[in-house]
């Protein structure tokens, strides 16, 4: 009889919607960003861009007051040489040191419209599709909402291209994307002729666990770093097709070398809770990753959310964990 790690649908919904880009979200297909400027890169040029929701936005010059609702977007803006007047809430230091003193304005899950209104932004960078519902509110305070998201490294590169066009920093965007391309090419070359370690990649919060599939950002990073995702053929959840329910029987059969956990919350709490779940099911004790103590929580700033340009760090870290002898 098939056995499953139990999860609460209510807790699942909270975990999914409580995090920034790169965490579980409804499927989306990013569109190629487009831009047109009437007079080169001068501040008075009209800039037209198309976001991931296929909405076309027009700006009368390069936006000077930018609010980012996710850390990934914030990272990309600063990597391109821009700045922000508003950033997502954080319990600790900003993931972008230069933005440490920037006003916190909520997150993709809970937008603080009062603070956003006071900052008078030219544009607010939100998540597609999570923040589609906030378009009327943002437009109602005289701003525009630009929607993007990331379920793959290529999606992050599309974000970089789009934001580069928005800021008229196309050359810098090309450079950043080339660095990512080079990193991916290097890792793929190093692992092309090797036996790929088998990995169960879990997205979790206490009492809520899902297997990340290859069409998720974490799953894509795993494969590009040289890992074999044992859940690759698990059926995706209806509302979150980048993730699957954990099937203990199939996991035991696959016998992963590593179990890596992504979380947006308290990493030690999540790890302890997951280990407790495994201990309550004797079948997990025979898995290679468990026997060899290869159950680990990944850094939340690189895997619990879209890391932006720091995806190169995420790729490096994943590769180092899978190939520690190299």
What are the pLDDT digits (tens) for 122-160? 999 999 999 999 999 999 999 999 999 999 999 999 999
182 and 55 assigned to the same domain: yes
174 and 205 assigned to the same domain: no
CATH number of the domain at 281, please. Answer: 3.40.50.1980
311 and 205 assigned to the same domain: yes
Of 113, 123, 53, the closest CA to residue 85 belongs to: 123
* Local structure of 27: helix, strand or coil: coil
104 and 200 assigned to the same domain: no
Tally of domains in the chain: 2
Task: Print the domain residue range for 255.
Answer: 9-20+193-322
167 and 198 assigned to the same domain: no
pLDDT value for 281: 86
pLDDT value for 278: 83
In this predicted structure, the answer to whether residue 67 has a pLDDT above a threshold of 80 is yes
180 and 219 assigned to the same domain: no
Of 72, 55, 73, 71, the closest CA to residue 136 belongs to: 55
In this predicted structure, the answer to whether residue 261 has a pLDDT above a threshold of 90 is yes
Task: Give the mean model confidence (pLDDT) for residues 10-25.
Answer: 43
DSSP labels for 263-286?
-SS-HHHHHHHHHHHHHTSGGGGG
Last residue of a domain, one of 187, 219, 240: 187
- Rounded distance, CA 95 to CA 132, Å? 25
280 and 302 assigned to the same domain: yes
DSSP labels for 131-148?
GGGGHHHHHHTT-EEEEE
The helix (run of H) or strand (run of E) holding residue 203 is: strand 198-205
Residue 89 has which token pair? 């809430």
- Answer whether residue 25 is part of any domain: no
What are the pLDDT digits (tens) for 208-259? 899 999 999 999 999 999 999 999 999 999 988 999 999 999 999 999 999 9
92 and 138 assigned to the same domain: yes
155 and 227 assigned to the same domain: no
């Amino acid at each position: 009889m098939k056995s499953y790690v139990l999860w609460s649908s209510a807790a699942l919904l909270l975990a999914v919607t409580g995090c920034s880009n790169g965490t579980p979200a409804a499927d989306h297909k990013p569109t190629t960003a487009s831009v047109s400027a009437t007079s080169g890169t001068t501040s008075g040029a009209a800039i037209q861009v198309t976001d991931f929701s296929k909405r076309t936005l027009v700006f009368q010059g390069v936006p000077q007051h930018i609010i980012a609702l996710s850390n990934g977007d914030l990272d990309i803006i600063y990597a391109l040489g821009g700045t922000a007047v508003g950033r997502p809430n954080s319990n600790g230091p900003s993931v972008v040191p230069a933005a440490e003193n920037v006003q916190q304005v909520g997150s993709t899950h809970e937008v603080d419209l009062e603070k956003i209104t006071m900052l008078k932004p030219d544009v607010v960078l939100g998540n597609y599709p999570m923040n589609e519902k906030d378009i009327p509110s943002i437009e109602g305070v005289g701003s525009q909402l630009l929607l993007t998201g990331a379920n793959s490294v290529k999606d992050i590169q599309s974000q970089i291209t789009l934001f580069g066009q928005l800021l008229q920093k196309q050359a810098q965007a090309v450079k950043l994307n080339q660095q990512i391309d080079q990193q991916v090419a290097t890792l793929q070359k190093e692992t092309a002729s090797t036996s790929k370690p088998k990995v169960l990649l879990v997205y979790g919060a206490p009492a809520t666990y899902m297997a990340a599939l290859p069409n998720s950002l974490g799953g894509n990073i795993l494969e590009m770093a040289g890992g074999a995702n044992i859940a690759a053929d698990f059926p995706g959840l209806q509302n979150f097709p980048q993730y699957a329910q954990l099937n203990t029987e199939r996991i035991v059969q696959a016998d992963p070398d590593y179990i890596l956990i992504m979380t947006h919350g308290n990493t030690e709490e999540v790890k302890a809770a997951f280990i407790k779940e495994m201990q309550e099911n004797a079948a997990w004790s025979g898995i290679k990753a468990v026997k060899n103590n290869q159950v680990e929580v990944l850094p939340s700033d690189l895997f619990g959310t879209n890391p932006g340009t720091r995806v190169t760090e995420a790729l490096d870290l994943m590769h180092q964990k899978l190939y520690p002898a190299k």
